């Protein structure tokens, strides 16, 4: 299906869309979608009614509320306040709560985003109630079924009626799995809508102030020159001491010896560092600036200025691609191959083997920025998504 621009359709009868979000990486994907609906409604004869449900999987202010405020996402109509728990607990509780909401709201479509537990819970629950499901960011595959996110993607895509893909590789993955062509719509990457919309505001921030305001180890500096930016939260990297500790030693003994290292830390990772007795040495390391989880603009500003990014986050890999920041991806595989250097992107997979990380770090550290823009990563994806949903037959 080729999407060009948003055309209001006059023959729909007050469509009702219910979107479900749960965790931090969902928020930057839903914000432009909601704005595209508002834009559609300005011209459409029959407007779309939109209901936003937050499952509450992420609940800390700086993992959730901050994003609603800065990305101008309307206050959720419903918050399920599911919170933390094992996977089965999170998914189970979310399904029980969502079933009631879906029956009560009776939407024409449930829209799910990304690959978190809320995505899985919402797609299964909606499907069993015979409600159509649209999946934003469909078709990504890491081929690693040990990743909870891969299970969430596989189930969600198998059940979805409309699969909105960010790139052509993802569309091809779906075709290879036998998904009928009429269900697949290549719309581009909605994360980049958010990036483009917020680029200027991020640009205006001051790095030194970001560090000072968010420091967890009371470190600040008058002027940052070259610095490395780090994020890490995947269970495969942080849940086992024998994997986490060598990474920490590499960061402390090698990266931070070379240059300043800025690390906004995920709650899962700080909990593990404490549990494994590694927290103190991280906090005390001279050139390491440990920060609480940052807001969207703050993170974008740091990414725009970093010499290198080390991360296991998929979203950050994509942002690095468009900004051109050389990136080491601390994973053995990726569901986002377009971000890799071999496909024109900026990132290289280094897993969690220290020799490999070291080798690629040394190769990457002197690379220049090289922005790349995969097809339809143009900031207009949300409009194409609304058009795809409205035109779906
Ligand atoms: C989830 C997503 C992952 C995404 C990541 C981004 C799934 C399967 N995983 O992983 O795809 O990349 O979010 O952040 O859905 N916690 C807090 N405060 C919060 C949220 C979580 O302290 O606001 C703590 C929880 O108590 C838990 C840990 O952080 O101990 C992990 O949270 P959880 O929701 O299980 O998954 P993430 O690791 O964040």
Q: Which residue's C-alpha comes closest to atom 22 of ligand 1?
A: 267
Q: Which residue's C-alpha comes closest to atom 7 of ligand 1?
A: 116
Ligand 1 atom having least distance to the Cα of 22: 15
Mean pLDDT of 245-263: 97
Mean pLDDT of 291-300: 98
Number of neighbours of residue 147 by Cβ within 10 angstroms: 18
Cα–Cα distance between 335 and 350 in angstroms, integer? 14
Ligand 1 atom having least distance to the Cα of 23: 13
Ligand 1 atom having least distance to the Cα of 235: 38
* Cα torsion angle, 319, 148, 186, 130, sign: negative
Q: Which residues contact 211 (CB under 8 A, 6 or more apart)?
A: 219, 220, 221, 224, 262, 289, 291
Q: Which of 233, 317, 329 to mutate to test the pocket of ligand 1 (most atoms within 8 A of CB)?
A: 233
Cα–Cα distance between 49 and 36 in angstroms, integer? 12
Cα–Cα distance between 52 and 331 in angstroms, integer? 33
The pLDDT confidence band at residue 14, using thresholds 50, 70 and 90, is confident
What pLDDT is recorded for position 1?
A: 34
What pLDDT is recorded for position 46?
A: 83
- Whole-angstrom Cα Rg for the chain: 21
| pLDDT, tens digit, 9 for 90 and up, residues 265-279 | 999 999 999 999 999
Q: Which residue's C-alpha comes closest to atom 26 of ligand 1?
A: 84
DSSP-assigned states of every residue in 8-48: --SS----EEEEEE-SHHHHHHHHHHHHHHHHHHHH-SSPP
Q: What is the 3-state secondary structure (H, E, C) of 141-196?
A: CCCCCCCHHHHHHHHHHHHCCEEEECCHHHHHHHHHCCCCHHHEEECCCHHHHHHH
Mean pLDDT of 50-68: 97
Ligand 1 atom having least distance to the Cα of 57: 34
Domain 4-189+377-390: which CATH number of 3.40.50.2000, 3.20.20.150, 3.30.465.10, 3.40.50.720 = 3.40.50.2000
| pLDDT, tens digit, 9 for 90 and up, residues 84-113 | 999 999 999 999 999 999 999 999 999 999
DSSP designation for 253: I
> Pairing relation of β-strands 260-264 and 227-231?
parallel
| pLDDT, tens digit, 9 for 90 and up, residues 352-393 | 999 999 999 999 998 999 999 999 999 999 999 999 999 998
Establish whether residue 59 lines the binding site of ligand 1, counting it when its CB lies within 6 angstroms of any ligand atom.
yes
Mean pLDDT of 144-164: 98
Domains 4-189+377-390 and 198-364 share a fold: yes
Q: Is 233 a catalytic residue?
A: yes
The CATH architecture annotation of domain 198-364 reads 3-Layer(aba) Sandwich (3.40)
Establish whether residue 268 lines the binding site of ligand 1, counting it when its CB lies within 6 angstroms of any ligand atom.
yes
Q: 58, 135, 233, 297: which one is catalytic?
A: 233
Number of neighbours of residue 12 by Cβ within 10 angstroms: 16
| pLDDT, tens digit, 9 for 90 and up, residues 174-225 | 999 999 999 999 999 999 999 999 999 999 999 999 999 999 999 999 999 9
What pLDDT is recorded for position 156?
A: 98
The secondary element (H helix, E strand) that includes residue 322 is helix 314-323
Q: Which residue's C-alpha comes closest to atom 21 of ligand 1?
A: 58
Q: Tell me the domain boundaries of the chain.
A: 4-189+377-390, 198-364
| CA-based nearest residue to 196, from 28, 345, 328 | 28
**Can you list the positions of beta strands (E) in the chain?**
16-21, 49-54, 78-79, 109-113, 132-136, 162-165, 184-186, 227-231, 260-264, 288-291, 308-311, 327-329, 347-349
Measured in angstroms, how far is the CA atom of residue 268 from the centroid of ligand 1? 7
Asked whether the whole model's pTM tops 0.85, one would answer yes
Distance between start and end Cα atoms, the chain = 12
Please tell me whether residue 215 adopts helix, strand or coil conformation: strand
Mean pLDDT of the chain: 95
Q: Which residue's C-alpha comes closest to atom 28 of ligand 1?
A: 268
Cα–Cα distance between 382 and 366 in angstroms, integer? 36
| CA-based nearest residue to 78, from 55, 102, 44 | 55
Q: Does 11 have pLDDT greater than 50? A: no
Q: Which of 82, 87, 116, 145 to mutate to test the pocket of ligand 1 (most atoms within 8 A of CB)?
A: 116
């Amino acid at each position: 299906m080729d999407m060009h621009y948003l055309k209001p359709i006059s023959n729909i009868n007050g469509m009702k869309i219910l979107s479900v979000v749960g965790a931090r990486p969902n928020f930057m994907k839903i914000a432009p979608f909601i704005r595209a609906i508002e834009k559609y409604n300005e011209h459409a004869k029959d407007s779309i009614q939109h209901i936003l449900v937050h499952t509450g999987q992420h609940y800390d202010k700086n993992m959730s509320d901050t994003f609603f405020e800065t990305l101008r996402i309307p206050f959720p109509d419903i918050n399920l306040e599911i919170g933390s728990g094992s996977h089965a607990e999170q998914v189970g509780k979310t399904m029980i709560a969502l079933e009631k909401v879906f029956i009560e709201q009776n939407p024409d479509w449930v829209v799910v985003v990304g690959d978190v537990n809320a995505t899985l819970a919402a797609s299964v629950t909606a499907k069993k109630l015979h409600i159509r499901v649209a999946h934003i960011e469909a078709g990504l595959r890491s081929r690693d079924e040990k990743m909870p996110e891969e299970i969430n993607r596989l189930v969600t895509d198998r059940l979805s009626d409309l699969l909105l893909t960010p790139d052509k590789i993802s569309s091809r993955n779906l075709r290879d799995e036998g998904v009928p062509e009429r269900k697949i719509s290549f719309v581009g990457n909605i994360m980049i809508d958010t990036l483009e919309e917020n680029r200027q505001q991020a640009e205006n921030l001051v790095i030194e102030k970001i560090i000072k305001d968010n420091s967890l180890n009371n470190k600040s500096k008058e002027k940052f020159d070259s610095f490395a930016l780090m994020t890490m939260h995947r269970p495969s990297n942080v849940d086992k001491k024998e994997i986490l500790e060598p990474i920490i030693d590499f960061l402390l003994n090698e990266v931070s010896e070379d240059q300043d290292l800025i690390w906004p830390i995920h709650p899962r990772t700080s909990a593990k560092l404490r549990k494994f007795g590694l927290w103190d040495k991280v906090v005390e390391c001279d050139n390491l600036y440990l920060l609480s989880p940052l807001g969207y603009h703050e993170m974008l500003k740091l990414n725009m200025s970093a010499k290198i990014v080390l991360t296991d986050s998929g979203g950050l890999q994509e942002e690095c691609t468009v900004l051109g920041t050389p990136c080491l991806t601390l994973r053995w595989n990726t569901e986002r191959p377009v971000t890799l250097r071999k496909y024109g992107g900026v990132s290289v997979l280094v897993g969690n083997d220290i020799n490999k990380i070291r080798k690629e770090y040394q190769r990457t550290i002197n690379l220049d920025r090289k922005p790349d823009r995969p097809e339809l990563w143009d900031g207009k994806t949300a409009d194409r998504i609304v058009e795809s949903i409205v035109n779906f037959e």
